[in-house]
Amino acid sequence: MVENLSAGIDAFTSNAFLVDGERTVLVDAGANYDVVSRVEERTNGLDAVVLTHTHTDHVGNLDDVKTKLDVDAWGFDPDQHGVDHELDDEAEVVLGDETFTVLHTPGHKNDHVCLYNERALFAGDLVFANGGFGRTDLEEGDRRTLVESLERLDSRLSDGLDVMHCGHGPSVTRNPVEDVRLALQGAKTR
């Protein structure tokens, strides 16, 4: 089961997905609200925090989560504040009851990753609903690199993909592969 703990929060934050199962994981920690109490209301504890990237809106709550829930955080760049363990490109990570492949997808930020299996995608800020894509005007942003990351992601996706959980906005449950392809087309032309 996947639940967005940031749903209904009126603050500058990213989505923070609680993935419950054999290995209960928080994908991104969000910012500017008490995500710890939301985790505690839903589960007996976390096994890990996995970060799509380390922009403030995705990691603002990370120190509280790690301290109060006594967990470590995994991210692509272990030199970033709060990252305890490195996620290697093409490594596998268990979220809930499913195994996901880590795909390094820079362009929005150098340490950005997507987490993918044939059924589900945690897209972070690479791609959003309706073909939106991550900003490239921030530090470490680069449009050409973002396009390459979108191309890489598109080449890996299965037409059987059921859901894409985005870093902001709604999850996509209707033909998410099309949203990725729209984002790729838009990133190439804008």
Q: What is the CATH number of domain 2-189?
A: 3.60.15.10
Assess contact for 124 and 167: CB atoms under 8 A: yes
DSSP count for the chain of H helices, then E strands? 5, 11
Q: How far out from the chain centre does Cα 67 lie?
A: 21
pLDDT tens string 150-180: 999 999 998 889 999 999 999 999 999 999 9
Domain boundaries, the chain: 2-189
Concatenated DSSP letters of 161-183: --EEEESSSPPB-S-HHHHHHHH
| The predicted structure's pLDDT at residue 190 | 67
pTM greater than the 0.85 cutoff: yes
pLDDT digits (tens, 9 = 90+) for 15-26: 999 999 999 999
**pLDDT, tens digit, for every residue of 66-92?**
999 999 999 999 999 999 999 999 999
Question: SS3 of 10, please?
Answer: coil
Among candidate residues 22, 5, 23, 2, the one with its CA nearest the CA of residue 14: 5
The phi, psi pair for 121, rounded to 5°, reads: -140, 130
Bridge partner residues of 3 (DSSP): 18
**How far does CA 39 lie from the centroid of its chain?**
17
Which two tokens mark 102? Answer: 């880590």
Cα(151)–Cα(111) distance, rounded to whole angstroms? 17
Cα end-to-end distance, the chain, whole Å: 36
